[in-house]
Amino acid sequence: MILSLIVFLPLAGALLVLFAGGSGDRPDREGLVKTLALVVSLVTFAATLVLWWMFDPTNADYQFVERHAWMPMFGIQYFVGVDGISLFLIVLTGFLTPLALLSSWDSVHKGVKMFAFFMLALESSMLGVFVAIDLFLFYMFWDFVLIPMYFLIGIWGYDRRVYAAVKFILYTMAGSVLMLIAIIGLAWAYDAMTGAPSFSLIDLQKLTLSWPMERWFFLAFALAFLIKVPLFPFHTWLPDAHVEAPTAGSVILAGVMLKMGTYGLVRFAFPLFPSAAMHYAPWIAAFAVIGIIYGALVAMVQPDLKKLVAYSSVSHLGFVVLGLCAMNAQGLQGSIYQMLNHGVSTGGLFMIVGMLSDRRHTRLISEFGGLKAVMPRFVAAFLLVTLSSIALPGMNGFVGEFLILLGGFLWSPKFAAIAATGVILSAVYMLWMFQRVNYGEVTNSKNTSLPDLLPREWALMVPTIAIAILMGVVPNVFLRPMEPAVKKTIERVTGRSFATAHAAPASRPLASGQKQVATTAQETATGRQPRANSQQPTAKANSHE
Amino acid sequence: MSNYAALIPIAIVALSAIAAMLAEAFRQRDERMPIYGLGLIGLGGAAIASGVLWNSDAKSLEVIRSDNFALFINIVLCIVGILTMLMSNDVIEREQIPSGEYYALTLFAICGMMMMAAATDLLVIFVALEVLSLAVYVLTGIRRQSAAGAEAAFKYFLLGGFSSAFFLYGVAFAYALSGSTRIEAIGTALSAQPAGTPPSTIALLAVGLMAVGFAFKVSAVPFHMWTPDAYEGAPTIVTAFMSTGVKAAAFAAFARVFLSPLEPLQAHWIPVLSVIAAVTMIVGTVVGVVQTNVKRMLAYSSIAHAGYLLLGIISANRDGKASLLFYLLAYAVTNIGALGIVALLGTAQEQHDELRDFAGLWRSRPALAGLMTIFLLSLGGIPPTAGFIGKWYIFSAAVQEGHYWLAIIGVLTSVISVFFYLRIVVMMYMTEGSEIPRPRVPAAAMAALALAVAAVFYLGILPTRVIDLALNSISTIF
């Protein structure tokens, strides 16, 4: 019951807000609506913490499973569950939504009721994405997520908001619909094998698909997820959406929605189509590495703070995808860890940019300078979030990037080596930006009397920074519950391609495909070795401080 | 008596149509008379009668068969009729449409539609087609002072006449082939041919000409030319009615003729219909993108939806047929809702159906804007609405038969269509409003919209029961 409660609590809250807000635009109910929305999101967060507390960290299977027949004639079920991979993404969603609501507390004044409604509806659908195990259910949540976000960008965004909103929805939807066809194809393939269709992930993993089918279905899934991530070169919707979205929208978009893409890869695309995944992993990783460098270089030259953070997301998410492609314990754990880190630190950065933009109504770096003298506490918070984002040892980002690079190196040293330069580049663009905004003389007279952190902003920064440090210092708290599910996923993905390499290499139509399978089989052998002591790198991370 | 059982739903609607005519005749000048109440009673009665006849598979006069397929369509048509009637009262008064004629014609049209869905003889299908078409031609041009309405009615009449002639010509060939116009007899004659021999030219001509006739009625490309003009020129509430009702009846007869007697020729008509379906989906959405009039936009969307519906016939399997029925219902409640809102926003002077007229609707009429958004999202096929389940089901049937390309074209054109549906949403929510007077929404119309939106969510979230009914409906005949 707890999962359904978590998923539908925000939706119930959204409907409550809709009725409590009265008809039309009622400025006198603004406070009530905001408080109500915040309370609902906080209760949801508390429920996600309870979920974490009740979660059995030694179990690799789905927990808190709920299964109800929904459309029995097609084998469609209401089937939800949580494992170590999705657990923290659920907690992250619960954590970021109240912060996002708080971050737009003072800047949203028109249609507050609808704003709160869409935020809570968005939270429900994102949580639904992370708990769904039935692919039909998953797709419904996945597609619906776009609608509230579309409105959040389009109504409460900045100047080019309509363009950004439409681009966002069309771009991501165009990717997803092909996945719908692939999902349908999978269900009928299951029907052909067993006599009854099914959309359950657990059932569909038992399928043996022909190579062309597996390949096309994988590509359809991967396209949907990689656009969402977004992987270079599918990233062009992201800067627009991020820059034009209101602060709350950016926080959720960067913090949670991008992770839906990487989560989809590790939960659905890779385990459903292991051979195709291993076949295409080097290609995806290559684009990820290009994205790491490209995102960092483009971020470096951005005059706009929000755009800079947006491109840094492209770079950071490149790391996550690289770790996934490595498909070994370090890489995968690092990837999932980095998803959480990116949510916290980039969410934090967007909040910071939002604070600056609330005060000055501009986000141009050149408009600022010397803020340290004016608002020292704000700059301190800014510094900590920046350091978390550039992965300073002791902060959360370090653990994730280190694990990813380690996993990447075990898999393919050359990818890891190129990706590692991204770490340096991220320090370059973030610190340079930090320096231009905060140090030096106050050059712009408008900056001389900016207020320092307000109580509401303290409430945003303290939890963000606290969790960033916590995740940097005691990563095991987070890594341990992931481990069983991560191992299971790796066994599923690499184990099967290992078997097919021996069983049916001749059935592969592509010579290069054969070669690939052979090399991945080797990788599996090397990749499996260090899994026994996968806690090792985190121990290193600790000792590094 | 039981010999006439299959006629009962049709007879009830016909009686209520006659009652509406008489009521108009006895109406004092300037007397306000809720004639739509008669229509509601008749349609409600027909729906109940259809429910009672469920599973009875009654046949009357050897040419009308109330199998579950026809009864399902009956119920869809009753829903279409009831929603239209509920929204009509104030709208037709505002547009100065003579109410007696309006309601009587609507009800006679529904009669024709029901007959068309239940007919098992090609000539009866033709007669039913003419009954509904004549009523709808008049409804299209019922605003006598409107030039656009007259033009629309004339175009619709002319092209509709052509299509009827094509259909009749096809019937003639079918008769030449089998010596009968009964559907079963034609089916027997066609399947009597030894397997492997190519079908005769006459058989192919019969199939081709009938396909043209049906393609006109369901507005499939390249026979869609009348649709945008007729939909734009007709009073909006009539557009809502004919875009859903005519489509449901035409597809019902299309499916009945093509999936049972003409099934032996499947290999010949499936490729042709596949091309037509693909072109229909593409043209409907791509041309829809550039429209600035909402009614015209929804006319092109209706063309695109005809393309999706054709996938159900092309798939020709159990799920294809059931998804066709489900989609017709989902499309009916959704499109009537969307066009109903457009109709309700019109005033006596202006129709207010241009895209820019929707600017700022969120500010002046938040509830209508919200409902319109839900209907548009359902037309676009976004969960958790009826439109999503409908599209998923119909594409699922297509994929099952290996028609991957049609399904892919289907989903991609859906994305394009979302673009133009969102143009309306952008206007309503993200553009500052012009000061257009917004008329009050009467309670009956609000009730209709509430029913429609409830149906959209019911079919979108808990479709199991209706899908079961649809599966049950097709099992009796094909």
CA angle A353, A455, A114 (to 5 degrees): 65
* Res. B56: pLDDT tops 90: no
For the record, the structure tokens of B445 come out as 């119309």
Residue type, A545: E
User: Hey, are the CB atoms on B415 and A139 less than 8 Å from each other?
Assistant: no
To the nearest 10 degrees (0 to 180), the angle between helices A396-411 and A511-528 is 120
CA A54/CA A159 separation, integer angstroms: 45
Q: Which residues pair with A69 in a beta bridge?
A: A77
3-state helix vs strand vs coil in chain B, percent to 5: 80, 0, 20
CA A294/CA A285 separation, integer angstroms: 14
Q: What are the φ/ψ torsions at residue B121 (nearest 5 degrees)?
A: -130, 135
> For the purposes of burial, counting CB atoms within 10 Å of the CB of B197, is it exposed (0-12), middle (13-18) or buried (19 or more)?
exposed
CA distance B204 to chain A (A): 33
Proportion of chain A above pLDDT 70, given as a percent: 90
CA A412/CA A523 separation, integer angstroms: 9
For the record, the structure tokens of B247 come out as 């489509």
CA distance B34 to chain A (A): 31
Q: What is the pLDDT of residue A514?
A: 39
Report the pLDDT averaged over residues A252-268.
92
Proportion of chain A above pLDDT 90, given as a percent: 50
Q: pLDDT per residue over A35-67, tens digit each? A: 999 999 999 999 999 999 999 988 888 999 999
To the nearest 10 degrees (0 to 180), the angle between helices B294-315 and B386-400 is 40
Q: Which residues pair with A67 in a beta bridge?
A: A79
> For the purposes of burial, counting CB atoms within 10 Å of the CB of A420, is it exposed (0-12), middle (13-18) or buried (19 or more)?
middle
**Contact present, B153 and B140 (Cβ < 8 Å):** yes
* Res. A526: pLDDT tops 70: no
DSSP state of A364: B
- Reduced to 3 states (helix: H, G, I; strand: E, B; else coil), residue A370 is coil
CA A187/CA A192 separation, integer angstroms: 9
Q: Which residue has the tokens 């709920």?
A: A66
User: Hey, are the CB atoms on B399 and A155 less than 8 Å from each other?
Assistant: no
CA B302/CA B246 separation, integer angstroms: 11
**pLDDT confidence tier of residue B2, bands split at 50, 70 and 90:** low
Alpha helices for B33-121 (secondary structure H): 36-53, 68-94, 99-118
Closest CB to A185 among B399, B429, B467: B399
Q: What is the pLDDT of residue B424?
A: 92
Report the pLDDT averaged over residues A383-411.
90
For the record, the structure tokens of B397 come out as 């049937």
User: Hey, are the CB atoms on A73 and B392 less than 8 Å from each other?
Assistant: no
CA B246/CA B252 separation, integer angstroms: 10
Q: What is the pLDDT of residue B457?
A: 95
The reply to whether omega before A230 is within 30° of 0 (cis) is yes
DSSP state of B66: E
Domain assignments of chain B as residue spans, ordered by start = 2-475
Write out the DSSP string of A193-240: HHSS---BHHHHTT----HHHHHHHHHHHHHHHHHHTTPTTSTTHHHH
The reply to whether omega before A197 is within 30° of 0 (cis) is no
Cα-Cα-Cα-Cα torsion B287, B293, B298, B300, nearest 10 degrees, comes to: -20
DSSP state of B119: B
Q: Which of A29, A173, A215 to mutate to test the interface with B (most CBs of B within 10 A)?
A: A173
Chain B positions touching A178 (Cβ under 8 A) are 408, 411
DSSP tally for chain B: helices H, then strands E: 19, 2
The reply to whether omega before A148 is within 30° of 0 (cis) is no
Chain A positions touching B463 (Cβ under 8 A) are 71
User: Hey, are the CB atoms on B396 and A154 less than 8 Å from each other?
Assistant: no
Q: What are the φ/ψ torsions at residue B66 (nearest 5 degrees)?
A: -90, 65
CA distance A169 to chain B (A): 9
- Reduced to 3 states (helix: H, G, I; strand: E, B; else coil), residue A80 is strand
CA distance A452 to chain B (A): 33
Closest CB to B399 among A73, A141, A184: A184
**How much is the ipTM here?**
0.93
Q: Which residues pair with A134 in a beta bridge?
A: A200
Q: How do A76-82 and A63-71 pair as beta strands?
A: antiparallel
If we measure between CA atoms, which residue out of A334, A526, A335, A517 comes closest to residue A413? Answer: A526
**Contact present, B352 and B436 (Cβ < 8 Å):** yes
| Chain A residues with a Cβ under 8 Å from any Cβ in chain B | 23-25, 70-74, 111, 136, 139-141, 143-144, 146-147, 150-151, 154-155, 161-162, 165-166, 169-170, 173-174, 177-178, 180-181, 184-185, 187-188, 191
For the record, the structure tokens of B187 come out as 């089916």
CA distance B429 to chain A (A): 7
Q: What is the pLDDT of residue A501?
A: 38
- How many angstroms separate the Cα of B431 from the Cα of each of A59, B97, B123, B372, B404? 52, 33, 53, 16, 39
Q: Which residue has the tokens 């890594």?
A: A479
User: Hey, are the CB atoms on A161 and B430 less than 8 Å from each other?
Assistant: yes
For the record, the structure tokens of A371 come out as 């803020």
**Contact present, B46 and B85 (Cβ < 8 Å):** no
Element (H, E) at B461: helix B443-461
Report the pLDDT averaged over residues B393-403.
93
- Per mean pLDDT, which range of A526-530, B164-168, B330-334 is the poorest? A526-530
Q: What is the pLDDT of residue B478?
A: 62
- How many angstroms separate the Cα of B8 from the Cα of each of A141, A299, A351, B50, B118? 44, 72, 67, 8, 12
User: Hey, are the CB atoms on B382 and A162 less than 8 Å from each other?
Assistant: no
Q: What is the pLDDT of residue B97?
A: 86
Q: Which of B426, B462, B468, B475 to mutate to test the interface with A (most CBs of A within 10 A)?
A: B426
**Contact present, B117 and B143 (Cβ < 8 Å):** no
Chain A positions touching B392 (Cβ under 8 A) are 136, 180, 184
User: Hey, are the CB atoms on A140 and B383 less than 8 Å from each other?
Assistant: yes
User: Hey, are the CB atoms on B383 and A173 less than 8 Å from each other?
Assistant: no
**Contact present, A462 and A95 (Cβ < 8 Å):** no
Q: pLDDT per residue over A356-383, tens digit each? A: 888 888 888 888 888 888 888 999 999 9
DSSP state of A63: E
More confident: A177 or A28: A177
Phi-psi region of A242 (alpha: psi -120 to 50; beta: other; left: phi over 0): alpha
Q: How do B58-60 and B64-66 pair as beta strands?
A: antiparallel
For the record, the structure tokens of B99 come out as 């109410």
Alpha helices for A145-210 (secondary structure H): 146-156, 161-194, 201-204
Report the range out of A68-72, A532-536, B106-110 with the highest average pLDDT. B106-110
- Mean of all residue pLDDT scores within chain B: 90
User: Hey, are the CB atoms on B430 and A180 less than 8 Å from each other?
Assistant: no
- Chains A and B: how many Cβ contacts under 8 Å? 84
If we measure between CA atoms, which residue out of B119, B111, B110, B134 comes closest to residue B171? Answer: B119
Give the N- to C-terminal CA distance of chain B in Å, as an integer. Answer: 27
Count of C-beta atoms within a 10 Å radius of residue B265: 18
Q: pLDDT per residue over B248-266, tens digit each? A: 999 999 999 998 888 888 8
Cα nearest neighbour of A76 on chain B: B464
If we measure between CA atoms, which residue out of B309, B181, B165 comes closest to residue B246? Answer: B309
CA B203/CA B170 separation, integer angstroms: 9
Give the N- to C-terminal CA distance of chain A in Å, as an integer. Answer: 42
Q: Which of B429, B438, B468 to mutate to test the interface with A (most CBs of A within 10 A)?
A: B429
Cα nearest neighbour of B468 on chain A: A73
Q: pLDDT per residue over B21-45, tens digit each? A: 999 888 887 777 788 899 999 999 9
* Res. A518: pLDDT tops 50: no
Q: What is the pLDDT of residue B321?
A: 92
User: Hey, are the CB atoms on A178 and B411 less than 8 Å from each other?
Assistant: yes
If we measure between CA atoms, which residue out of B41, B139, B35, B143 comes closest to residue B89? Answer: B35
CA distance B402 to chain A (A): 9
> For the purposes of burial, counting CB atoms within 10 Å of the CB of B468, is it exposed (0-12), middle (13-18) or buried (19 or more)?
middle
Count of residues making up chain A = 545
For the record, the structure tokens of B439 come out as 């008329």
**Contact present, B153 and B138 (Cβ < 8 Å):** yes
* Res. B335: pLDDT tops 90: yes
For the record, the structure tokens of B223 come out as 């026979």
* CA–centroid distance for B193 within its chain: 35
Proportion of chain B above pLDDT 90, given as a percent: 67
Q: What is the pLDDT of residue B44?
A: 95
For the range B25-30, what are the long-range contacts, defined as Cβ-Cβ under 8 Å and sequence gap of 24 or more? Answer: B25/B100, B27/B100
* Res. A502: pLDDT tops 60: no
User: Hey, are the CB atoms on A181 and B382 less than 8 Å from each other?
Assistant: no
DSSP state of A395: B
Report the pLDDT averaged over residues A310-318.
91
CA distance B280 to chain A (A): 19
Alpha helices for B119-146 (secondary structure H): 122-140
CA A190/CA B166 separation, integer angstroms: 44
* Res. A257: pLDDT tops 70: yes
Cα nearest neighbour of B432 on chain A: A155
Q: pLDDT per residue over A110-123, tens digit each? A: 888 889 999 999 99
* Res. A545: pLDDT tops 80: no
Closest CB to A144 among B382, B392, B463: B382
**pLDDT confidence tier of residue A25, bands split at 50, 70 and 90:** low
CA distance A516 to chain B (A): 28
The reply to whether omega before B222 is within 30° of 0 (cis) is yes
* Res. A500: pLDDT tops 60: no
